[in-house]
Structure 1
Amino acid sequence: MFKTLYSRFAIYTITVMILSAIISFLITNVYYHFELKAQNDAKVMQTLQHAKSYKDAKQQNDFEEYMRLLGGLNFQVIVFDESYHESHYGHAFRKNNLSKSAIDQVLAGKDYHGIRSRPFNLFITGFFDNETRNTVGTQFITDNGSYAVFMRPDIGHAFGEFRIFLVVLITLLIMISIALVIWSTYTLVKPVQQLKLATSRMMDSDFETPITVTRRDEIGALQQHFDTMRIKLKQLDNMRQHFVQNVSHEMKTPLTHIHHLLTQLQQERIPSRQSDYIQRIYDETHRLSQLTRQLLLLSELDNDTHLKFEDTVRLDYLIQDILKNEAYMLDQKEHVVVYELKPMTYIGNERLLTQAIENIIRNAIKYTEKYGMIDIQLYDENNDIIISIEDDGPGMTPETMQHIFDRFYKQSSYSDSNGLGLAISRSIIERHHGTIRVASTLDEGTTFTIVLPKT
């Protein structure tokens, strides 16, 4: 029964309506018993006393006719003579349970207040209890003797056709309320059901179908957030597919080369050519090993919960160590390296920072022509540490600069790079809450600027 939010909400609302009606009735009944019952008793007794006074003043001799007239004025009347013979006027009582002691009390001249003294019943309202003990009584004296007259308002007759109107009104009220509850529940649940279908589609990797925002309330905001999440998941899925394709391609290429080289090596008999094939196989395995290490590093950066950034790093020493490690390549291309490194201490992950800066310096060495110049600066500015690496290489186009930090992006399909170095550098710098920028002019050179916040 509660398998859907629609049925749960509708049943809960109807249950609340029913409970509210019951609680309201109980509170009203309690209020009648403690506040209104005595007032009602006094009003009915006052009416009966006025009737008695009117009879005495007008000297009405026909007592039975007078009682019949009183019963016709929307009152229920029961009369007992001194012999306890009873007579009814107006509509009959539902139950005759008046005690003999009450009759004797009235015949003795003492008023009876049955409405006021009626016992409290939580589930029955005394105002509607149509029985003889729920009356008021007083003594009437005529020429024929003394009478005990008991009277209460004829509620059923007083309401008359209004009861039918009230029943129809309440019935229509309940039916319309239930219909409105069902309709409002449907309007509330329908967007949630649409979100459920949308999440089912996304679970099946369908991120194409947009989620329509149909409301301006919290549910509408939820729809908007779900659609934003769908777009981001779509982008993530595209990136994942692109990443898998690139990894497959980058790993397949050296493996294919190795396979062909091994085939040629098996057929080659000249030692010098065999050495050449072995060197080329070594280069391909080195490239494959480097790709694997970079992929592992990317995975480590993407799941950085275990990474620690607590090393005390002398950035000037770190850059000098990188230049020493790259001295062979610098000598091979006869580059001129100019650097000005201000002594700077930074708290971070030394291994990752070395990798990030090393990738950029290696790129500068790789793309700078022979006899070119590389300028490296380390200084502080305001509350930041600035590392600037400038070369006079071929530079980049604006389109290339937009994608230079994307994973597997290559300026040329013939490049021996796997396109991960700068993506790794940016990820590392961002993990240190820093930024990395690039400025380049075609045929003039490129400048990478790393900005790290002082700790």
Structure 2
Amino acid sequence: MKTLYSKFVWMTLLIMFASGTIGFMIVNTFYHQNLKEKNDEKNVEVASSIVGLIESSNLDSITPLLQTIGDAGYQIYVVNEDGLEQFYGGDFRVRELPDAIVNNVLHGEVYHGMREFPKETFITGYFSNELTNTVGVPFTYDHKKYALFQRPNIKFLFNEIHLLLGGLAGAMIIISIIAMLIVAKRMIDPLTKLTVATNKIANEDFQVPILVNQRDEIGQLADSFRNMVKQLEASDRYKKEFIARVSHDFQTPLLNIQGYATLLENGELNGNYAEIIRKEAMRLSGVMKQLLLLTSFDQANTRTKKEPYRLDEQLKQIVMKFRWLLDEKNISIQLQLKKVEVLGDKEMLEYAWENLISNAIKYNYSPGEIQIAMSETSEYVQVIIQDSGIGNKNTDYGQWTERFYREDQARSTQVEGSGLGLAIVKEVIQSHHGILAFENVEPHGTKVSIQLKKM
């Protein structure tokens, strides 16, 4: 498997190679389109100056002059009408030159070999050390026609300064590659640490240290990773607590059903105890329905059937359902409602109101009091349900809506309930884009506020 480090290194080297190749092609194209003709003209001027000097001077021999010019940095080829040829200066890599070109120059034409040199993609014509890549001019010496072909000696282009610059460029490339390797390693190391941490977390080891402290995007990734680990740890703890609580809530009624069923089977109890079995079964069924409803919210499978309806009328109907229980516990209820229409799922919201009012009754004193009030703005309606009951010592209101949450064991045994009601209420209100808030009221009691959008 290719590591990210090796991919980064190879990609960087590939980019360097590609950029060098593309840069060379651009320079080569620029030379052929813009510099080649100018270079040809300059070399024709140099060649013309050489032959002008020869023709204007009374030289016994042209060899010393041409040898000196060749040693000064030129490659020269001279041929006369008798076919006598001589090379001066640096040697040509390719000495082939068509006879037609030589004859044309001997007859007075100027040869523009540099200008006419074929264009090649990966070879810059300026450095092509061929006899055809020269300029040729005619001259007369000792009553004979001559042709002189010359070009700059490329070896002189690479003198000490050029070698120094080339060495500097090479050193820069090597240093750049080494620096790139170091930077790549520093960039990849934190990701490697995160990968190791991920593997440990997959094995439920949430205490793995994440030793990444950087003030950049990788540092932000590490911070997000730490937060994710905390959430995963909390989720794992919640999952285990959830399983334990579900097991406990199921175990008690199941044991009761099993015990009474055994007694009935042995004839030790009369049939009246079948009612107890029925109630325990209904309790189990209720918990199961609540769990299924919460699961549907978790999986986003619950579709709200929103329709406009009168919220105040719904609250009045729900209060009427609990009238007998209010009278039984000697609890008075005050309604301060307004005629308000909301757009919502009537059945789901009914469940939420029933749960909240039921809690206000169950956890109230006898005698006690409940107040249900409404207020509204141009866009929202707020419903407040306040009781004078025992309240809740826990001021971490977020925990109130956790699944299977009960304030304490004593309270959970005194009052029946699964601890799922407020969790479902929270999901219902959120599905309507509403706001659910809790508050302890001094000296005793609880206030619940729900904000919903109006029609």
TM-score (normalised: structure 2): 0.88
Partners of 2:229 and 2:335 in 1: CA distance:
48
Q: 1:349 to 1:90 in 2, by over 3 A?
A: same
1:164 Cα deviation from its structure 2 partner = 4.8
Q: Secondary structure of the residue that 1:76 maps to in structure 2?
A: strand
**Could you list the per-position Cα deviations for residues 138-181 of structure 1 after superposition, in whole angstroms to 9, with x for gaps in the alignment?**
23333363332222211114534556546544543443333333
User: What is the match of residue 297 of structure 1?
Assistant: 293
Instruction: Name 1:243's counterpart in structure 2.
Output: 242
Name the CA distance, whole Å, in 2 between partners of 1:161 and 1:340.
Answer: 99
Q: 1:196 to 1:355 in 2, by over 3 A?
A: same
Return closer, same or farther for 1:59/1:293 CA change in 2, 3 Å cut-off. same
Structure 1 position 428 matched with structure 2 position 428: yes
What aligned pairs does 1:122-271 form with structure 2 within 5 A after superposition? 122-143=121-142, 145-161=144-160, 164-165=163-164, 168-265=167-264, 269=268, 271=270
Tell me by how many angstroms 1:399 deviates.
4.0
* C-alpha contact (below 8 Å) 1:395/1:442 kept by paired residues: no
Deviation sequence 1:8-43 (CA, Å, 0-9, x none): 232222122212222222222222222222222222
CA–CA distance in 2 between the matches of 1:91 and 1:203? 72
CA, structure 1 residues 146+380, in 2 after alignment: closer, same or farther (shift >3 Å)? closer
Given residue 127 of structure 2, which amino acid in structure 1 is its aligned partner? F
Pick from 357, 364, 367 the counterpart of residue 360 of structure 2: 364
Q: Do the aligned partners of 1:61 and 1:142 also contact (CA within 8 Å) in 2?
A: no
Deviation track 1:255-299 (CA, whole Å, cap 9, x = no partner) reads 12333334455567475xx63x44433332232222222222222
Instruction: Output the CA distance in 1 between the equivalents of 2:269 and 2:229.
Output: 60
2:324 and 2:235 map into 1 onto residues whose CA distance is 41
The 3 A distance-change label for structure 1 pair 90 and 267 is: same
1:329 aligns with 2:301: no
Contact 1:393-1:443 within 8 A present in 2 as well: no
Closer/same/farther in 2, CA of residues 284 and 151 from structure 1, 3 Å limit: same
Q: Distance in 1 between matches of 2:356 and 2:38?
A: 96
Partner Cα separation in structure 2 for residue 194 and residue 288 of structure 1: 47
In structure 1, distance between residues paired with 2:227 and 2:148? 82
Identify if the C-alpha distance between structure 1 residues 51 and 284 changes in structure 2 by more than 3 Å, giving closer, same or farther: same
* Aligned positions of 1:38-77 closer than 5 A: 38-77=37-76
Residue pair 2:81, 2:145 contacting (<8 A) in 1 also: yes
- The one-letter amino acid of 1:365's match is I
Kindly indicate whether residue 439 of structure 2 is the aligned counterpart of residue 439 of structure 1.
Answer: yes
Residues 100, 396 of structure 1: CA spacing in aligned structure 2 closer, same or farther, 3 A cutoff? Answer: closer
Cα deviations across residues 107-140 of structure 1 (Å, max 9, x unaligned)? Answer: 3333332222223233322212222222222233
Structure 1: gaps (5+ residues): none
* Worse overlay, 133-142 or 235-244: 133-142
Distance 1:210 1:439, change over 3 A: same
Going from structure 1 to structure 2, the CA distance change for 1:445 and 1:74 (only over 3 Å counts) comes to closer
On the 8 A contact 2:40/2:135 being kept in 1, the answer is yes
In the alignment, what sits opposite 1:90? 89
SS of residue matched to 1:397: coil
C-alpha contact (below 8 Å) 1:322/1:358 kept by paired residues: yes
User: Superposition RMSD on alpha carbons, in Å?
Assistant: 2.8
Letter of the structure 1 residue corresponding to residue 316 of structure 2: Q
Q: Equivalent residue of 1:437, what SS?
A: strand
CA distance in 2 between counterparts of 1:148 and 1:437 reads 104
| Aligned partner (choices 308, 314, 321) of residue 312 of structure 1 | 308
Report the secondary structure of 2:95's partner residue. Answer: coil
Point out the more displaced range, 156-165 or 286-295: 156-165
Measured against aligned partners, the alpha-carbon deviations of 1:222-280 in whole angstroms (never above 9, x if no partner) come to 33323322222222222222211111111112212333334455567475xx63x4443
- The structure-2 alpha-carbon separation of the partners of 1:342 and 1:171, relative to structure 1 and needing over 3 Å to count, comes to closer
Structure 2 counterpart SS, 1:373 = strand
> How far apart are the structure 1 equivalents of 2:441 and 2:136?
113
CA distance in 2, matches of 1:158, 1:322: 100
Q: Which runs of 5+ in 2 are unaligned?
A: none
Contact 2:364 / 2:387 at 8 angstroms: preserved in 1?
Answer: yes
Distance 1:216 1:402, change over 3 A: closer
The question of whether the paired residues in 1 share the 8 Å contact of 2:395 and 2:440 is answered with: no
Contact conserved, 2:304 with 2:431, CA < 8 A, in 1?
no
Percentage of pairs with the same residue: 33
User: What's the counterpart of residue 280 of structure 1?
Assistant: 276
CA distance in 2 between partners of 1:134 and 1:426 (Å): 87
**Preserved CA contact (<8 Å) 2:436 2:450:** yes
Moved more, 27-36 or 181-190: 181-190
1:388 is paired with a residue whose SS is strand
- Whichever residue aligns with residue 68 of structure 2, its letter is L
Q: What amino acid maps onto 2:283 in structure 1? A: R
Contact kept, 8 Å, 2:331 with 2:370, in 1: the verdict is yes
* Counterpart AA for 2:388: D
Match of 1:16 in 2: 15
Give distance in 2, aligned partners of 1:449 and 1:259: 42
What corresponds to 1:99 in structure 2?
Answer: 98
What TM-score results when the alignment is normalised by the length of structure 1?
Answer: 0.88
Matched AA of 2:195:
K
Distance across 2 between alignment mates of 1:155 and 1:243? 83
Secondary structure (helix, strand or coil) at the match of 2:343 reads strand
Moved over 6 A (4+): none
